[in-house]
Amino acid sequence: MASGQPVLKLRVRALPADGEANAAVIALVAKSLKLQKSNVSLERGSASRVKTLRLAGDANAISSALEKITREQT
């Protein structure tokens, strides 16, 4: 992003109607990070393409999982 914040790009097939796409984003992130869906919540951007998520759980495990995902993307 222009602000210098790290960004994780992802795509879901769900339609952006009735919160389906947001739920799909949460499910995908939870699965990818091996978190329960209840530990991933939408902080900002419910109607936007850019979203901010709140992740709850072991910070070290989440950080390691995010590092692994970003390494796989490059």
CA distances from 45 to 19, 42, 62, 65 (A): 11, 7, 21, 23
Residue 24's contacts (CB-CB under 8 Å, 6 or more residues apart) are 12, 13, 14
- Tell me the percentage of the chain whose pLDDT exceeds 90: 73
**The whole model's pTM is what?**
0.87
Tell me the per-residue pLDDT of 38-57, one tens digit each, with 9 for 90 and over.
Answer: 999 999 999 999 999 999 99
